[in-house]
Structure 1
């Protein structure tokens, strides 16, 4: 029996399975929507990954990831080329969007304002390619703890400002782990809904204490995020797409059997999300 409304970001079981194995495990439990990472696609080859998606009639709720724009001139050119390849890969997988983790400060820089300008410039440079390929670009704002090294876009408001600047073909991925704390979150979700900017909804939980800010995400219901409230706000804004479980958990969930992780995702999705 299919589990409607649930997608599994394959980072959640990256230590247990390759992409092919993860799809098989998901299908056994009725999960028909996934979001792979590019390294997982590359490991089995893009043609094989696309065949697996097509043969199993999977929905790909997003491809992770593009981005990483702030850099020197050579680095920016390389990032733009790599993002165009990522767009082509997303198109081959018939993905709903390409998720962008935009990048932090260039090496040696303290100018976060310029870094954010570089993000907008980088997205502007790849946007025509994305529009031609029919792949929406989803900016994922990351928690401020990542501002220096992973993403200098840290709030939904900042992400939507870039969307408004650049126009069609771009939106946001709302990951509860990164934005749950924001006092402006519900207002900005409503803003995103008025222009159909919501492209993805990622779920997990924020543990207290968190032992590792990158690799200690919690299973839904094990932390402090009001998942139902955020989901209600997102649906009120007009987005009824799948909720995508994305859990990085080096000391817990990555060490458990994959089938147990997936069955727990289903149970928690049904009860606490």
Structure 2
């Protein structure tokens, strides 16, 4: 395996260095020969879209994705429309930054009717597909681990995401495979095969035992129980050969110097991904 070629696929998902501004993250990638970045919208908002675009253009970095759209369910039609409008802004931001993929964290139920909320997710995505197509942006449905069903996403398995993608009937929509969210699934490899041609992103981190926190619980690759190389082999066999994002939400890692985190990330990527 040519590790130089493999390392060229490494992308920093910006949440891994949450303590850094977008400028600091861009500069860190350039200094550490990381060729791509996934940008979070709250970091765009801090400095504005125009300055964000300038930073990316001048750096030469690729934008592997923008995080995040979604959060479709809401109690009233007017609230759901507000969320659809925000997703359209996210699509515009992604296009302006020359990103190809907007990651959708689909959202929790506002009440106990989780099935109704899943219907609202489908309706929300359906309503933005033409807008995404006009802007050349793909929509990546990211299933989250079931422990996030109550507060982040009612789409909790890759199987659900595949069914949703198929029901929408649009190649503008695909799925994101994040190892932290899907590694436990007994049907994972069948569902990765089912997603062939529709995988829009691959995210890596690890599941350390015991889990340090529910939200800020991800660990650096190699520290936990996930068989990352096997999952990576499966997504590649089923058509995904684009950037591999390191996405780690962990307070202890956030508290480290960002440059140190990037070096650790590169070393772990080379060894465990």
Please point out which of 173, 181, 184 is paired with 2:184. 181
Distance 1:162 1:269 in 2: 31
- Quote how far apart the aligned CAs of 1:87 are: 0.3
The equivalent of 1:137 in structure 2 is 139
The equivalent of 2:73 in structure 1 is 70
- Quote how far apart the aligned CAs of 1:247 are: 0.5
Distance 1:168 1:6 in 2: 25
Q: For 2:219, what is the secondary structure of its paired residue?
A: coil
- Quote how far apart the aligned CAs of 1:33 are: 0.1
> Would you say how many aligned residue pairs link Structure 1 and Structure 2?
267
Please point out which of 3, 13, 33 is paired with 1:9. 13
Within a 5 Å distance, the mapping from 1:140-155 to structure 2 comes to: 140-155=142-157
Q: For 1:62, what is the secondary structure of its paired residue?
A: strand
Q: For 2:195, what is the secondary structure of its paired residue?
A: helix
TM-score, reference length from structure 2: 0.96
The equivalent of 1:162 in structure 2 is 164
- Quote how far apart the aligned CAs of 1:44 are: 1.4
Within a 5 Å distance, the mapping from 1:12-161 to structure 2 comes to: 12-15=16-19, 17-71=20-74, 72-106=76-110, 109-161=111-163
Distance 2:212 2:247 in 1: 17
Distance 2:177 2:99 in 1: 17
- Quote how far apart the aligned CAs of 1:132 are: 0.6
Deviations 1:221-266 (A, max 9, x none): 001100000001011101111110000111x111111111000110
Whether the aligned pair in 1 keeps the contact of 2:171 and 2:198 (CA below 8 Å) is no
Pairwise CA RMSD of aligned residues?
1.1
The equivalent of 2:258 in structure 1 is 258
The equivalent of 2:207 in structure 1 is 206
Whether the aligned pair in 1 keeps the contact of 2:9 and 2:35 (CA below 8 Å) is no
Q: For 1:30, what is the secondary structure of its paired residue?
A: coil
Q: For 1:36, what is the secondary structure of its paired residue?
A: strand
1:192 aligns with 2:192: no
- Quote how far apart the aligned CAs of 1:96 are: 2.1
- Quote how far apart the aligned CAs of 1:168 are: 2.1
| Divergent runs of 4+, >3 A | none
Q: For 1:168, what is the secondary structure of its paired residue?
A: coil
Deviations 1:204-230 (A, max 9, x none): 001100121101210000011000000
TM-score, reference length from structure 1: 0.96
